[in-house]
Structure 1
Amino acid sequence: MEYVRLGRSGMKVSRVCVGTNMFGAGYVDDDRAESVIDAAFDAGINFIDTADAYNSGHSEVVVGRAVRSHRHDFVVATKGFIATGPGPNDVGLSRKHLIDAVNASLTRLKSDYIDLYQVHYFDPDPPPEETLKTLDDMVRQGKIRYIGCSNFAAWQLMRALWVSDRDGFERFESVQPEYNLAKRDIEGELFDACANQNVGIIPYQIFMGGVLTGRYSADSPPPDDSHMASRHAQRAKDTYWNERTFKMVDVLKDAAAELSVSVPQLLIAWTLSRPQITSVIVGASRPEQAKGNAAAVSIDLPEEIVARLDSL
């Protein structure tokens, strides 16, 4: 496994991160989820991403339980923003909601600290000074080690960094965007902004919710016990389950066969071939998937294969 610094920080993360939005769902029970994290740890993965919104917080509970015996060895990242209740202050990036959200995440994780706390979405309502001062305060209190953002456009990231630099607040060390063969808009301004400001990029959805893995057929619906059949994958299914994607799958299968690797491993290697990418978030519902994902870090893709995938 390879480890790299996250942004400008001194904290090092594995180049593969375990995504846990499936954990706590009915088709990935708690015991299996813990076995996935155990397998990932054995394979050298030290980076786990969750959120308070994943399965109403149960993903955080599962992650906390799985890392408890090696808590110091893991970099646990979580996120806050999405509504956690019916009230007007139960959502967003206000001081009130963020403090409540961080404390609730700490309780579910059964941890004294969060290694990387990310704001899940941009919030236009509170001034950025309020959000960043709140996060800075919690870093100083020891509840958070580093901060990051998710689903931010380049201008939103740059605005936040400018406020942090002006006021002496903690800076976002990373951004978590959606990125895959069909959604590559971040290769413009966001790539440039992160390179200029030394902000790490940790993308999600590189498998397009699983459609790109080669496990599904355009001619039949996904199996009932599969991720694509679950409610968690419906947005990805609505977005990516189409003729263009399955044509991509055919190309990916051929390229993977040439290299004697799996399609998921090929996609991980392609994503990591981008010098701007720090680590890639990928889910796993079985231990062997976590091990296979970790092994992809050692794949050195030929330039011809990279160019072939770039052209899709």
Structure 2
Amino acid sequence: MGLRLGASEEKVGELLQAYPRDSYQLSTKFTPQMAAGDSDHEVADMLAGSSKRLKTDYIDLYWIHNPADVEKWTPQLIPLVQSGKIKQIGLSNHNLAQIKRVNEILGTAGIQVSAVQNHFSLLYRSSEAAGIIKYCQDHNMTFFAYMVLEQGILTGRYSVDQPLPAGSARAAAYNQVLPQIGALVDALTEIGAAQQASATEVATAYALAKGTTPIIGVTKAKYIPSEAKAMALTLSPAEIDRLEALAQAANVDTKGSWEAPMI
């Protein structure tokens, strides 16, 4: 049975009641496809629901989860920032033209996008090719990279001989490309071994080296030292070139079905 809509926000809100509000930051999202489409205040309404469930008066970073209608939803963000209900605005799965347009609309009120969240990994670098990462750097916007490890296939745990568990969505999406990425995973493992690091840590360090902030799903405290290790790794330009060449040679497309092309 799936979680009831909003249940995760309620749980987070309950857990955070033990801590001062200024000791943490909250991020949640507006999903255009969940809006009814018949109100001029749908962003405000959805934000109010999230804030109530999270037991807070404001959201530190509020995401527009996809670019369904930039012209419609963006203006609704302005009064929410001006009233303090939102501190910063983020965009997820937007291309460069859409990001620029949102900034233009917000700019009429002296506001700009603070963060972008797109798929980025060694195997999927479209946000870099499209100039999105550079645009973020030039405009003081944080680029959050998700799927940095491509659902685990860049960790070294999986191979042709040890595929992802049969019957899973990950297996359906990735097992077929495991033969093509073998050389890349071997290189990640080899480069990591020279610094007593894992393939996972090198793949994460690569995303950091490209100017992104990886979104890491740390489900257990024991994984935290690994992320600290990734942050401490230094990849040489030659190592980065080698990894990118092997990724290109693998010739796999890991774009999610929910993603629009960035280029």
Question: Could you say which structure has the greater relative contact order, defined with CA pairs below 8 angstroms and 6 or more residues apart?
Answer: 1
Give the aligned residue type for 1:64. Answer: G
Instruction: Give structure 1 stretches of 5+ with no counterpart.
Output: 1-24, 27-53
> Which of 291, 297, 302 is residue 231 of structure 2 equivalent to?
297
| 2:206 is the alignment partner of 1:270 | yes
Find the aligned partners of 2:220 and 2:74 in 1 and give their Cα distance: 37
Find the aligned partners of 1:194 and 1:120 in 2 and give their Cα distance: 17
1:81 aligned partner: 31
Structure 1 range deviating more: 243-252 or 263-272: 243-252
CA contact (8 A) 2:78 2:109 kept: no
Give the aligned residue type for 1:297. Answer: M
| 2:5 is the alignment partner of 1:63 | no
Change (3 A) 1:118 1:298: same
1:240 shift after superposition: 7.2
2:173 aligned partner: 238
Find the aligned partners of 1:137 and 1:151 in 2 and give their Cα distance: 23
Find the aligned partners of 2:231 and 2:238 in 1 and give their Cα distance: 18
Give the aligned residue type for 1:89. Answer: G
List per-residue Cα deviations over 1:225-247 (Å, max 9, x = no partner): xxxx765x57xx51575122343
CA contact (8 A) 2:32 2:64 kept: no
Alpha-carbon RMSD:
2.8
Find the aligned partners of 1:255 and 1:146 in 2 and give their Cα distance: 38
1:121 aligned partner: 66
Find the aligned partners of 2:208 and 2:192 in 1 and give their Cα distance: 16
1:101 shift after superposition: 1.7
Find the aligned partners of 2:17 and 2:168 in 1 and give their Cα distance: 28
| 2:261 is the alignment partner of 1:261 | no
1:18 aligned partner: none
- Deviant stretches of 4+, over 4 Å: none
Change (3 A) 1:141 1:66: same
Aligned residues: 243
1:168 aligned partner: 109
Give the aligned residue type for 1:80. Answer: F
1:180 shift after superposition: 0.4
Give the aligned residue type for 1:69. Answer: A
TM-score in terms of structure 2 length: 0.79
TM-score in terms of structure 1 length: 0.68
> Which of 133, 140, 150 is residue 191 of structure 1 equivalent to?
133
SS of the residue corresponding to residue 214 of structure 1 reads: coil
CA contact (8 A) 1:132 1:169 kept: no
Change (3 A) 1:310 1:73: farther
Find the aligned partners of 1:159 and 1:310 in 2 and give their Cα distance: 31
1:66 shift after superposition: 4.2
Correspondences of 1:5-44 after superposition (within 5 Å): none
Structure 1 range deviating more: 114-123 or 290-299: 290-299
Instruction: Give structure 2 stretches of 5+ with no counterpart.
Output: 247-263
2:85 aligned partner: 143
Find the aligned partners of 1:299 and 1:197 in 2 and give their Cα distance: 26
